[in-house]
Structure 1
Amino acid sequence: MVERIGSRSTPAALKDVARTFGESDVTVSTDATRVANGSVELVDTSTSTVSRPADGTSTTSSTGKGVVVVPSSDLSSIEVTVSSNVSGGEGVRVTDSDANTLDSVSGSYNGNETVTLNASLSAESKYYVAVDGPDGWEAGTNENVSYPYESKWLDMVSGVDTVESWDGGSEDDTVAYSIESITATNDSVTSGSVTVEFGTPGTPPPDAVGWDVAYMTRTLNGETVEIYVQEAQGSPGWTDVAGPIRRGDSIPADPENDVRFRVKFSRSDTSSNPTLDSILRRYKL
């Protein structure tokens, strides 16, 4: 809701304010962040899911078949969903690029079942995630693939049609095998962001002539909270027009366009908790 501040002897300023980030006319979009106790902060644990197209067929196999993945951050576990056409699988595992098994779950696995593998995966290293089975088991496949498939914490970069200890893995980037999606868990989140939008349509009220300044309050705790101004410029959408800004900086945007804030958080110590505590945009009268 637009508020007025000032006295009767001076023109009243118009402003949009987010004090708790739960206001009815405030919309926040979080990425590895959350609203807690009236502020925005980094999450403790974040997940992301990478998926490839669903199975188109299946193939008979006597070896482990799966996909090649590369984390963008150190991970503590992955949750693996077996693809729809798998039949007769007898285990799911994750190995390093030399096919040393890091964790495995045995049992009978068929299409669309999900298992958790508790393995420490290092950022920018290559791993194989595969389903194993007896001679003649059915591995789900899709040959209509276009690698890489990406998510925040994990990318799927190829298929692997042989995962054996004696030869590492035989990679094939023209087909996907047996694994349809993987959810990665990152419990050492060091960066994230949030966008803060105000009510629709968001352009200045009739008695305002444009945008004036932005104000914010932050609790840094020795870390970094950076605020950027974004302007709605049509296709492709929101564009950064200023930032990182300081308290009281002007908003360099066309008065006919909406503006919002993009806030970046980063920390070197995961026990630190930098927060965005409030933010406002003021109209020019």
Structure 2
Amino acid sequence: MSNLDAFSSQGIDRDADIRRFMHDLVDSYDEELELEIDDGESGGLVDREARRLYFRELFRLQGELVKLQDWVQHTKQKVVILFEGRDAAGKGGVIKRITQRLNPRVVRVAALPAPNDRERTQWYFQRYIAHLPAAGEMVLFDRSWYNRAGVERVMGFCSDEEYEEFFRTVPDFERMLVRSGTVLIKYWFSITDEEQHARFLGRIHDPLKQWKLSPMDLESRRRWEEYTKAKEIMLERTHIPEAPWWVVQAVDKKKARLNCISHLLDQLPYAEVPHDPVLLPARVRNADYFRHPVPAEMYVPEKY
């Protein structure tokens, strides 16, 4: 059975889901396509006008992100951005577009694995604190300390006492961060039941995406309603004035990326930092310099 034929075995509209699968497959290659267009090689595009508008806005916003990065570094800001949401909600896609053209020494991503045996004995927030920014840095958390309110609660990885202690502690923890001069921005990426279903099928049948699916992801699909209840409680109990939640409508991936980046830029009073003109110095040439040839066997074969 082919990957596409497998759609029909799952009790769904095969033709509609094949169209969706192909659409998502093309969308998954957009990062490379963006780089090609940035280099002036637009190629042949499906729905060319819509893509042109998307790329135009994306590049404009990424240009503003470069200005934001310069401002953060110049003014010694400390910025933390949390990205939360269901599996396949698009958090990684927007993080990738935010960081795509930025300096990883200034803007970095923290995507922590499950805690090890030692970390399970620590204060819950301890392992996250190690990744907080110093002055002049931005840290994007691809999932965060809110794991306790989500996956840990639903999957039974924490006790009722630990769960309640989290809600008692997290508002004070976040207020401490803000009082210390850290800007804290929290995003929840919202998708529908049907959209997650379609995206999971896309991952199952796309060899380049299968690594994204874990047994935990599949179990989260079964427990959709439990995750919904956990999300609602989390938003209600941790939406504080010092660090409110912002919900990104993420059914349309491209709109979600643009809306989130635009909103992020609006949250910070950044300004373009003036720089002295960059002048390329003349290369120093020495009469006694001799460039030694590289042995042919050291070269990577040019297959393309």
**TM-score under structure 1 length normalisation:** 0.22
Larger radius of gyration: 1
Say which structure is richer in strand: 1
Q: Given the two structures, how large is their TM-score scaled by the length of structure 2? A: 0.21
Larger % of helix: which?
A: 2
